Chain A
Amino acid sequence: GNSVTQMEGPVTLSEEAFLTINCTYTATGYPSLFWYVQYPGEGLQLLLKATKADDKGSNKGFEATYRKETTSFHLEKGSVQVSDSAVYFCALSSLTGTASKLTFGTGTRLQVTL
């Protein structure tokens, strides 16, 4: 079946540091890949996505490239801010009949300090 593996957190960085959160996946076919962000006490928000190999998703300074050869979709940001502190989820979508289903990783908590 499909699965998503994320690096264990928490990740603690100083403001303006470089961020990488690793994500690898196992899936049949060609899934779309996503990063969602969950701020404290809130639901999930879509951060970025990529729908095919070599696509790069980007938003708010974050980016991730769909690497089919390494089955990876690592999240990066060149300079994090305190406001980026949140839990980040990597996910892939698969089609079942007429419904797409998201399979999530376990989430990585990012804590950015001054």
Chain B
Amino acid sequence: SQTIHQWPATLVQPVGSPLSLECTVEGTSNPNLYWYRQAAGRGLQLLFYSVGIGQISSEVPQNLSASRPQDRQFILSSKKLLLSDSGFYLCAWSAGGDGYTFGSGTRLTVV
């Protein structure tokens, strides 16, 4: 069966520090991968999606970047965190249709 792993579960980082969040998928090949952010009191915003290795589409201009070095690995990064980067980050995958499976999320607090 397919599973999605996301870590860490919580993270507290100072302003200006770098960030790396990792997401991996098991049990499927060539998944579509997504990063969403849920800011406090707001809905879910699509940040990046990827349909294949090295293929990244950005939905909104921001302080973050994404990479897909392997078929089932999706990484969210920042060189210098801002306070506004705080939020709940969710990774998800789909097989190309409507079905999405979400990871358990990473709660990032920038202090």
Given the known interface contacts A99-B49, A104-B43, the answer about A43 and B96 at a Cβ–Cβ threshold of 8 Å is no
Contacts of B97 in A (CB 8 A): 100
Select which of B42, B46, B105 is within 8 A of A101 by beta carbon.
B46
CB distance from B92 to the nearest CB of A (A): 8
Using an 8 Å CB-CB cutoff, how does the interface string of B1-27 with A read, 1 for contact, 0 for none? 000001000000000000000000000
Contacts of A25 in B (CB 8 A): none
Q: Interface residues of A: mostly helix, strand, loop or mixed?
A: strand
Number of A-B contacts defined by CB within 8 Å? 57
A45 to B44, CA, bound (A): 13
Q: Which of A93, A104, A107 contacts B98 (CB 8 A)?
A: A93
Tell me the count of chain A residues lying within 8 A, CB to CB, of chain B: 24
Q: Which residues from A are CB-within-8-Å of B43?
A: 89, 104-107
Q: Are A42 and B104 in contact (CB under 8 A)?
A: yes
Chain B count of residues within 8 A CB distance of the other chain: 24
Tell me, yes or no, whether A29 is within 8 Å of chain B by CB: no
A residues 57-114 in Cβ contact with B at 8 Å:
89, 93, 96-107
Report B58-87 CB contacts with A as 1/0, cut-off 8 Å: 000000000000000000000000000000
Give the distance in Å from the alpha carbon of A42 to the alpha carbon of B97 in the complex.
24
Q: Determine if A20 is an interface residue (Cβ-Cβ < 8 Å).
A: no
Contact with A along B36-60 (1 / 0, CB 8 A): 1000001111100101000001000
Nearest residue, chain A, Cβ from B44: A104
> Do B49 and A101 have beta carbons less than 8 Å apart?
yes
For B51, list chain A residues within 8 Å (CB).
97-99
- Chain A residues in the interface with B (C-beta under 8 A): 32, 34, 36, 42-46, 49, 51, 89, 93, 96-107
